[in-house]
Amino acid sequence: LTEPFLAAKEILDKIEQNNHQAFFVGGSVRDFLLNRSIGDIDIATSATPGLIKQIFDKVIPVGIEHGTVIVRHNKESYEVTTFRIDGDYSDKRHPDSVKFIDKIEKDLERRDFTINALAMDKNGTVIDLFDGKKDLQHSVIRTVGNGFERFTEDPLRIIRALRFSSQLGFTIDPETVVQMKEIKQEIDNLAIERITNEITKLFKGSFINIGIAYLKRTEVFKHLPVLRDHQHIIEHLPKSLKSLYSFGEVIALFNHIEPSIDAAFWVKDWKCSNRTKQEAIQLIEALRYFSANGLDSLLVYRLDPEYYHGFFRLSEILYPNNSAHIDGIEHLYKKLPILAKSDLAVRGNDIIDLFPNLNKGPWLQEIISKLEHEVVLGNLKNTKKDLKEWIKWNPPEIN
């Protein structure tokens, strides 16, 4: 075993000292065998959540009804889930019921793909009931058991197959592809949030072009919000995509292809957060400005610095020959004469005092906007004297 499993091994040891079994499971075992960097370590155990709470000091009950708790150990979090079998997914959201069991075999059988159904004990011995290691070697995604049944049971697995192909660069077993196509209309019944989560990961994958090729080939996009009514968007995606890190970036890409669908519409139908909405709106604005004016300090000034990298990624995809380089963006940021309106050397009251005969009105904001524009672009020095002088020569336009 290597880190981070060595740190997590102490949890397996402690559970075993309490006469229960515990294994590493799922993505961490898969990524370890692939020599990929390991994300979260998930643990499966025969101990019930109640017992786990007794054994460990810091336990957070995140999904007790599904047998999952988070154990905090040496400042790390581990998801610890009791071996279980799932009932039906009749609401297509969560299994109706779960039943705790005391052997790992049936727990592995409920998992989606052979490469995700591996378990590893504290000595590094792998339990591989469905030839998951062979599929890892051959880079194949294949369902555990009959794909028709497994996809019907939880149609999210169809989208997860696409997501893993994009993350790992794997082929989807041809029979599995046929089954995905056959069952894909069941996606319509899923909770949107689950779909959004998986599609975000699909676009983030290092092998996104493989993931998108499968998205097209399986015609799964015909069952995704908005895309089902605007199928040309997927057909018109750039030939060579690069990974995008958030759904806000994905919305900005889609909007570039179909400008008549705005960020608010995507956000509503994909049930995204307000944060995603703000991100998409900002990125769309910045891309529009970029296509008209190129990269300049006004673009950098208007875009929130937390979206610089996302804007850079999108510009690389959409303008591969003259993208906005991240160094260029950061250089312009460092040179910005002001970062906000409040940094202007004059205040609203200073401006009002210059025009004692004018009533309050939108003219004030218009002047402030123009000052911002001129100062940011370097046409005007940000001193009280220069700004006042400029205002005198460019008085408010009142109709």
Question: Under the criterion CB under 5 A, does residue 132 sit at the interface with Mg ion?
Answer: no
* 114: enclosing H helix or E strand: none
Whichever of 39 and 395 has its CB closer to ligand ATP, that residue is 39
Environment class of 286 (CB within 10 Å of its CB; exposed 0-12, middle 13-18, buried 19+): buried
Toward ligand ATP, which CB reaches closer, 39 or 378?
Answer: 39
- How far is 231 from 377, CA to CA, in rounded Å? 41
Contact status: 211 vs ligand ATP (CB under 6 A): no
Amino acid at 333: Y
> Which parts of 74-143 are beta strand (E)?
76-82, 84-86, 98-100, 119-120, 126-127, 140-141
d(CA 331, CA 307) in angstroms, rounded, equals 15
Contact between 132 and ligand ATP per CB under 6 A: no
Do residues 133 and 142 touch, judged by C-beta distance below 8 A?
A: no
Least distance (Å) from ligand ATP to the CB of residue 154?
A: 5
Q: Does residue 95 bind Mg ion (CB under 5 A)?
A: no
Q: Is 36 annotated as a binding residue?
A: no
Under the binding rule (CB under 6 A), the answer on residue 27 touching ligand ATP is yes
Cα-based angle 126, 131, 132 (whole degrees, multiple of 5): 65
Residue 42 annotated as binding site: yes
Residue 172 parent element (H or E): strand 171-172
Which strands, in side-by-side order, build the sheet including 68-73? 59-63, 68-73, 76-82, 42-45, 22-25, 119-120, 126-127
| Binding flags for ligand ATP, 101-130, as an x/- string (CB under 6 A) | ----------xx---x--------------
Instruction: Of 129, 220, 128, give the one whose Cα is nearest residue 179.
Output: 220
Number of residues this chain uses to bind ligand ATP (CB under 6 A): 10
Chosen from Mg ion, ligand ATP, none, partner binding at 116 (C-beta under 5 to 8 Å by type): ligand ATP
Given 107, 128, 135, 154, the residue binding ligand ATP (CB under 6 A): 154
Chosen residue from 156, 190, 202, 263 binding ligand ATP by CB under 6 A = 156
Query: Is position 87 an interface residue for ligand ATP (rule: CB under 6 A)?
Result: no
If one asks whether residue 79 binds Mg ion (CB under 5 A), the answer comes out as no
27/49 with CB nearer Mg ion: 27
From candidates 27, 49, 155, 248, binder to Mg ion by CB under 5 A: 27
184 in Cβ contact with 148 (< 8 Å) = no
SS3 of the chain: helix, strand, coil, percent, to 5: 55, 10, 35
**Closest to ligand ATP by CB, 39 or 294:** 39
Which residues participate in the annotated binding site?
Answer: 27, 30, 40, 42, 111, 154, 157, 160, 163
Which residues participate in the annotated binding site for Mg(2+)?
Answer: 40, 42
Binding site for ligand ATP (CB under 6 A): 26-27, 39, 42, 111-112, 116, 154, 156-157
Binding site for Mg ion (CB under 5 A): 27, 40
